[in-house]
Amino acid sequence: MSGPVPREVLAGVVREHAGRLAASLVSLLGDFSAAEDLVQDAVETALRRWPVEGVPDRPDAWLFTVARRRGLDVLRRESNHRAKLARLTWPGPAPPDDRLRLIFTCCHPALSRGAQIALTLRVVCGLSVAQIAAAFIVPETTVAQRITRAKRKIGEAGIPYRVPAGEELPSRLGEVLAVIYLLFNEGYLSNTAERAQARDLVADAEWLAALLAGLMPKEPEAAGLLALIRLHRARGAARFDARGRLVLLADQDRGLWDRQAIAAATALLTCAAHTHRRPGPYQLQAAIVACHAEAATFADTDWAQILVLYDMLLHLAPSPVTRLHRAVAVRYAQGPAAALAELNALGDALERYPLFHATRAELLRDLERHEEAHRADRRALELTANPAQQALLEERLLGWD
């Protein structure tokens, strides 16, 4: 291969190989931090040279050779690395499923959520510190410090490089799924025109979910999360209008939805649910989104089915935010008065949650209580930091001030 390499292609190749390289080096060196340093160096070299020289035919071998050379340099200079590097016989990259251990180490509960996210992007997806900083709009030094501290803790606190087994697995898997879901949400909610140049975290989250689902075929929640992310992405083109403003589900042009992707994600979900018969929060959320995605028009939405799914979800994972979403389904299944009654029970828990007030405003407007609706919209606007949501609320408030 030669010639200029598009940015996304480069990102894709790096993502495909950086995690594998990290996984094999951690196994070889028995030192997470030293392995990560070598991978970081190899990836940065690749990002510098591949745009000019083209992506090599065997990117894995190329990265491995660069890491090896760098490793030998380190060996010559630093005596404390001698013992580790002396073990290196460089037999070639480890099998791909070694990345599972890498993921579980990066998402260990003894690390803070912020560290888990930064480390997963850095080590498993091969993002540079600069890319992570840009995606979360934080200074590079903050990200670099977070990663350095996390690597130190892994080494010094004895966090093992291992996939947990037995009774530990469910909660540890939940930790990994939460990290991927947060990444997805961060990318999905901040996906506005101003951020178009930022790294597409949604793509990274989908890639991670696909990797996890592929490596853990016995865990239906991994497939559920993957289906959930794909069902959202399949409708991404209709979420913003030509001026970059948020379009609500009811107003979206469903012709822009990717029907093929929706069908494929729904099939994935159905297969996982039927094979394992172990429902979980991600499968249920995906099933709710599938109900929306399969409706030909907003009026065709099967609200009764959605209510059943919300009840199951609340049974497994009670949360005031989920109850808020359920209230929206109640509005269409039973009317705005019933939905408003549900919301009134949530006021204490969700007082600082902008969508609570925005939803309340819509219900009050349905009931022709315009003064109260206006106040609720104002409160929502005060609370939201998301520019697309702000624009939507400002538009609603026009004509009042």
In the complex, least distance from residue 105 CB atom to other proteins, rounded to whole angstroms: 10
Residue 30 contacts other proteins per CB under 8 A: no
In the complex, least distance from residue 160 CB atom to other proteins, rounded to whole angstroms: 4
Q: Which of 164, 174, 214, 387 is in the footprint of other proteins by CB under 8 A?
A: 164
The residue (of 155 and 217) whose beta carbon lies closer to other proteins is: 155
Q: Tokens 């009764």: give the residue.
A: 304
Residue 80 contacts other proteins per CB under 8 A: no
In the complex, least distance from residue 109 CB atom to other proteins, rounded to whole angstroms: 8
Distance of alpha carbon 204 from alpha carbon 132, whole angstroms:
11
Distance of alpha carbon 56 from alpha carbon 290, whole angstroms:
40
Please say whether the beta carbons of 312 and 325 come within 8 A.
Answer: no
Please say whether the beta carbons of 320 and 351 come within 8 A.
Answer: no
The residue (of 57 and 156) whose beta carbon lies closer to other proteins is: 156
Residue 8 contacts other proteins per CB under 8 A: no
Spatial neighbors of 244 by CB under 8 A, at least 6 apart, are 192, 193, 388
Residue 110 contacts other proteins per CB under 8 A: yes
Q: Which of 9, 83, 157, 316 is in the footprint of other proteins by CB under 8 A?
A: 157
- Closest by CA to 126, choosing from 240, 44, 245, 236, is 44
Distance of alpha carbon 308 from alpha carbon 319, whole angstroms:
16
Q: Is the dihedral of CA 288, 291, 294, 295 positive or negative?
A: negative
Residue 159 contacts other proteins per CB under 8 A: yes
E strand or H helix at 153, and its extent?
Answer: helix 140-156
Q: Which of 73, 168, 241, 351 is in the footprint of other proteins by CB under 8 A?
A: 168
# residues contacting other proteins (CB under 8 A): 10
- The one segment of 160-168, 189-197, 310-318, 321-329 that binds other proteins by CB under 8 A: 160-168
- The one segment of 153-161, 255-263, 277-285, 290-298 that binds other proteins by CB under 8 A: 153-161
In the complex, least distance from residue 168 CB atom to other proteins, rounded to whole angstroms: 7
Residue 214 contacts other proteins per CB under 8 A: no
In the complex, least distance from residue 162 CB atom to other proteins, rounded to whole angstroms: 7
Spatial neighbors of 371 by CB under 8 A, at least 6 apart, are none
User: What Rg do the C-alpha atoms of the chain give, in angstroms?
Assistant: 24
Residue 399 contacts other proteins per CB under 8 A: no
DSSP state of 319: -
Contacts to other proteins by CB under 8 A: 108, 110, 156-160, 162, 164, 168
